[in-house]
Structure 1
């Protein structure tokens, strides 16, 4: 017994007890901290370390969620255990920002009758519903994690291209909670360009629906036309259509005219512009100062977008290709105002086969007279999908949507760009002496240093 007591009183034993005690304290602290953290809101617990911040919730969404005045329900028709972790993580982060959203998971395999009872439901989707308004919108998982099918016919495989949970859910909430709905008609019959599906989806997300309209087939403008879009016609309007257009504007109508080819002959459309203080120039617009990599016809206009027109612009960079142009009259009268939104630099040129005329030219403007509003954009490339997809960091789409919604006082731009899921490879461009040192030198130094320290301790 005395020997046993002596061992407990030894320095080694006391050090051992101290170590055990400290380990116990650390464990208790860790358990308490985890219990406390477990009670924190989800938005404080999770840190987004994903590539390209795919779990980040935009300012637009945060504003909408902060001002939600209705209870919203997310019904997820999927097996939670097998659902993509990215979707589950984003749902947790998104719904943690408000107490107005409830989430329910229903496995369609275990409860097949749930799909039959809800006509809007489908497997692998989120049904966003609002009991107060009685509206619901279905968001398929395939619209959240978007697949790129461009290589399917050559390789037989697809790849993930975008993560659009933020935009899809915010758009759905807006659609089920708002009573505001606007109708945009786009003209046909003159070789117009058709809005891309992506663009119409963005407009619908802000409660703007679209429908085609042939003015020669109607006696008057539809009563529910909140905005008329003339998108890059290759031919001119007839006299009858010009008269109908001017009557619509004089009655307080709203029109967006996207100009077609700069060399096309459109005297009737030019006359409408002229009546609202804008004169079309004959020729393509070039800019020797603000251009893309020395190509004078690929222009980065100077942007003067204030208020709602400038809302959400990331870098004030818009690319126009082979653009037409116009000038604004100096004498506009007392009732007409024309605000220039995009212009060339003073080193702009109007170029034809025979001459080049230097000057500062207008590439987009908004004319207002009373309730009437005519917005003119000089190039269809503003919303051409080949431009907007390739230069996704530019503000082309955002500014165009702003121009559309600028015609309405009670509609907010809820356009949110999806996050790219494309793989970015980190490669060594020049494997020189620095690369060799990092790959071989640093590990060698660590090993040699460790061996030297070990030898010294061994001899001590």
Structure 2
């Protein structure tokens, strides 16, 4: 019997079969070993984001915050894990894997209903807590996967519009780990604009509160005002208000002015800006060199921002519409220094009813008033005496944060620049306002296909088919 088995393996077919079986066994063993090793890799290494909108991609801003964690953070998820959206589960797993300080716990609200009341939360909600600061905050699933409710009235069904996993979780982590919170007061009584939902959400993500302030009625800027915002007033300030603003700047106050379309002349506001070397020119600004599709009043400014003002800006695609022009001159006070961060090209024009003047016009500028006369204004926020430095930020168009612009062109960096100019007023606040990622379907359509496009779409497939047919015919003849 043994001799018979030996003879069986002496023929060629038996040896080839044995070799094949051996190779299959080796490949299977290699696959098993590779899978065992891969299973031990951290989630952020072994997970590859293949989603259309890169919803699982985590920015450098979030990674920087997570790398600096010095206390234990717990994400307690009050939901049934099996029925939770796979995108939320996948993102939570990948996000938590970036730091050994983060622990994710799941609590089934059906099995433990008392936990909801005990922790003052609702089902499908994440409770983020810091062991060191004892601070907590919540993130709802509906804030992560945002639904466009308006579509219900137009299409009869609600559609998912955005995925905001990173923005919500990073904001929550920043809130519970931070021991400071800043406050913006925005003025009223002069026909000012109002913040869009997008702006309000971004400010909230950076742990910045907002409250309105009528200077005529109060005649005082509150002590807890970290930034006074004047948003596109259509009416002029009073002389008393200008006096309040100057005193506020003298004492290290921070003011942000966005110019809009005024109903009448604004001599008091202009006098306030002129004191800090900022003068508004007449008319609207056009730019024949840096415009959007030949619309000269739709300007892509040259960004000269540095330091924290330029943080996170990758494409420099900021769009301003119907902007007013500014000219920077010598301030009335020697302790004031000015720094431009947006301007037109040399092909800019200030166009009014009676005239048009070519030149380079400023569209965004920062003026700093230092008590000690320091002149190191460079857009940075890490100077030791920033709390004592008055800071005036001026943007020449409200389209920087107008939702008609920012919400309709998601590739623009308007809101990124805006948040940088806000957080640059503080030495202990980072811009952690991460925008949500769109879930809208992207269609690859070809408009006005040229010769190359037609060749790629039709020519190459035809050539492949012809070549295949020729090869088939040759083999058939052989």
The TM-score bracket by the shorter chain reads: over 0.9
Please say if 1:87 is aligned against 2:88: yes
C-alpha change, 1:254 and 1:354, in structure 2 (3 Å) is: same
C-alpha change, 1:122 and 1:451, in structure 2 (3 Å) is: farther
Q: Could you list the per-position Cα deviations for residues 130-150 of structure 1 after superposition, in whole angstroms to 9, with x for gaps in the alignment?
A: 121111111111111122234
The 5-angstrom pairing of residues 152-231 of structure 1 reads 152-231=152-231
Partner of 2:32: 31
Partner of 2:246: 246
CA contact (8 A) 2:74 2:103 kept: yes
Partner of 2:382: none
CA contact (8 A) 2:234 2:263 kept: no
CA contact (8 A) 1:263 1:284 kept: no
In structure 2, the residue corresponding to 1:81 is in which secondary structure?
helix
CA contact (8 A) 2:139 2:168 kept: yes
Q: Distance in 1 between matches of 2:302 and 2:236?
A: 29
Q: Which stretch has the larger CA shift, 264-273 or 226-235?
A: 264-273
CA contact (8 A) 1:262 1:325 kept: no
In structure 2, the residue corresponding to 1:334 is in which secondary structure?
coil
Deviation of the 1:89 alpha carbon: 1.3
The 5-angstrom pairing of residues 61-460 of structure 1 reads 61-119=62-120, 121-261=121-261, 264-330=264-330, 333-370=333-370, 371-427=389-445, 435-436=457-458, 442=464, 446=468, 449=471
Q: Distance in 1 between matches of 2:316 and 2:45?
A: 33
CA contact (8 A) 1:249 1:372 kept: yes
C-alpha change, 1:347 and 1:264, in structure 2 (3 Å) is: farther
In structure 1, the residue corresponding to 2:243 is in which secondary structure?
helix
Q: TM-score scaled to structure 1, two decimals?
A: 0.93
In structure 2, the residue corresponding to 1:52 is in which secondary structure?
coil
Q: Could you list the per-position Cα deviations for residues 107-128 of structure 1 after superposition, in whole angstroms to 9, with x for gaps in the alignment?
A: 2122211211111x22112111
Q: Could you list the per-position Cα deviations for residues 57-98 of structure 1 after superposition, in whole angstroms to 9, with x for gaps in the alignment?
A: 100011111111111001111221121111111111111111
Q: TM-score scaled to structure 2, two decimals?
A: 0.89
Deviation of the 1:428 alpha carbon: 6.3
CA contact (8 A) 1:262 1:282 kept: no
Please say if 1:7 is aligned against 2:8: yes
Partner of 2:52: 51
Deviation of the 1:332 alpha carbon: 5.1
Q: Which stretch has the larger CA shift, 23-32 or 402-411?
A: 23-32
In structure 1, the residue corresponding to 2:53 is in which secondary structure?
helix
Q: Distance in 2 between matches of 1:447 and 1:122?
A: 64
Q: Distance in 2 between matches of 1:455 and 1:133?
A: 82
In structure 2, the residue corresponding to 1:393 is in which secondary structure?
coil
C-alpha change, 1:159 and 1:438, in structure 2 (3 Å) is: farther
**Structure 2 unmatched runs, 5+:** 371-388
Deviation of the 1:450 alpha carbon: 6.7
Deviation of the 1:282 alpha carbon: 2.1
Q: Could you list the per-position Cα deviations for residues 332-373 of structure 1 after superposition, in whole angstroms to 9, with x for gaps in the alignment?
A: 553111111111222222211111122222111111112211
C-alpha change, 1:441 and 1:158, in structure 2 (3 Å) is: farther
Question: How many corresponding residue pairs?
Answer: 455
Q: Which stretch has the larger CA shift, 432-441 or 99-108?
A: 432-441
Deviation of the 1:383 alpha carbon: 0.5
Q: Distance in 1 between matches of 2:367 and 2:358?
A: 24
Q: Distance in 2 between matches of 1:91 and 1:143?
A: 14
Q: Which stretch has the larger CA shift, 185-194 or 214-223?
A: 214-223
Q: Distance in 2 between matches of 1:159 and 1:454?
A: 54
Deviation of the 1:184 alpha carbon: 0.6
List 4+ stretches of structure 1 deviating above 3 A: 1-6, 330-333, 426-456
CA contact (8 A) 1:72 1:131 kept: yes
Q: Distance in 2 between matches of 1:443 and 1:329?
A: 69
CA contact (8 A) 1:161 1:422 kept: yes
CA contact (8 A) 2:234 2:262 kept: no
Partner of 2:374: none
Q: Could you list the per-position Cα deviations for residues 360-394 of structure 1 after superposition, in whole angstroms to 9, with x for gaps in the alignment?
A: 22111111112211111111111001111122212
Q: Distance in 1 between matches of 2:253 and 2:341?
A: 20
CA contact (8 A) 1:160 1:421 kept: yes
Q: Distance in 1 between matches of 2:161 and 2:190?
A: 35
In structure 1, the residue corresponding to 2:88 is in which secondary structure?
helix
CA RMSD between the two structures: 2.2
